[in-house]
Amino acid sequence: MELKSLMVQRIIPFAAVFVLFCPLKAPADNLDQPLVSSGEPQIFLKNSKKPISLEQIESAITKSSLIARLKPGQSISLFDTSFNGRVASLVFLNASSDLLVAACLEGEIHAGNAIAGPGQLLIWSPGNGEPQASDFDIGRFLATTTLLIEPDLQQTLDELSKRQERLIFWGVLERSNVNAQALKPPSTEQTRRSYLRREIIIRLRLKYPTVEELAGGVARAFVRALRERDAETVADLLNPALFVPKGSGLASGDWEQLRLAFAGRLIRQPWGERIGMAEADSSPRPDVWLVAGPVNTFAITLNTFDGMIFVNGVKPVVENLNRQKGGIES
């Protein structure tokens, strides 16, 4: 069985954040070394005054959009990606089922050679190692966002929006229908977030650009989670389609508790004795990874589902791999 390609072929620049094309924009030159500033950036849940630490940011962004205020030289790391504030900057952060977005509302941020100033954003997507910079439609953002914006910043953004309108009129910018906060319709996006907007899933999709690398990353993460008895990560890596009750669907959410309960039972087995410190290695089949434990070898079967590779089964190797069928055994 071949794993389907998961590469994102094209990204068009936020409803809240809709992308604009700028056909005349030249690529950024290499930047000097970023400034260094002590302390941590100020990070908050959207419209909340309760601060979030850098250690909490990955968990927080899977539940809500965030606002970050950076001093010159401060940086934020998310899922093995990072960006810096070249000057004092205000940034809107969001993770959808497909994209990680940092929208600059004030100041200037950069990641590698990608730069975003007010009205621009940085986008990280599966299959693309480097972030992409683009303009976003400020007018649509202001019209649809529930973010509480201070009057001075509101005035600045209004002026930028008017400038964008002039550039659109002259053909320098082109509107798109792509919402960088959600590529799918709201109902579909809500369902997809239940299994794709998970910490381990976002990290793996952004870290591994090819199908082969992603398959290995998923298998190795699953083995570590079994060894560490991490029920949440084990559950997140299991194929959600396996747990949908008959006559139901992913939108119902019934499968989530079933998957987590199964993961809880699975980690209670003596995986420390079964696999020791062994890691997953590839086999002749791209959808099967092997873990050679002290006594038995276990096969982890994988399958693609909605742009991600999930675990379909784990069992001892008792037959020829070419005839083996994936199935989870508890």
**Partners of 311 in the β-ladder:** 238, 302
* C-alpha–C-alpha distance, residues 85 and 75, integer Å: 6
* C-alpha–C-alpha distance, residues 154 and 97, integer Å: 29
**Partners of 19 in the β-ladder:** 136
Walk along the chain (330 residues) and give the pLDDT tens digit of each residue: 444 444 332 323 344 455 554 443 433 433 344 444 457 899 999 877 788 999 999 999 999 999 999 999 999 999 988 999 999 999 999 999 999 999 999 999 999 899 999 999 999 998 776 899 988 888 888 888 878 888 888 898 899 989 988 988 888 888 776 676 767 788 899 999 999 999 999 999 999 989 999 999 999 999 999 999 999 999 999 999 999 988 788 988 889 999 999 999 999 999 988 998 999 998 889 999 999 999 899 999 999 999 999 999 999 986 544 444 444 554
* C-alpha–C-alpha distance, residues 200 and 4, integer Å: 20
Would you tell me which CATH number, out of the four given (3.40.50, 3.10.450, 2.30.29, 3.30.720), belongs to the domain 210-323? Answer: 3.10.450
Q: Do domains 18-179 and 210-323 have the same CATH topology?
A: no
Q: Where are the domains of the chain?
A: 18-179, 210-323
Produce one character per residue of 10-44: b if its CB has 16 or more CB atoms within 10 Å, e if not.
ebbbbebbbbbbbeeeeeeeeeeeeeebeebbebb
- Model confidence, pTM: 0.82
CA dihedral 85, 138, 179, 13 (to 10 degrees): -60
For residue 282, the surrounding DSSP H or E stretch is: strand 280-282
Class of domain 18-179: mainly beta
* C-alpha–C-alpha distance, residues 7 and 209, integer Å: 7
For residue 136, the surrounding DSSP H or E stretch is: strand 128-136
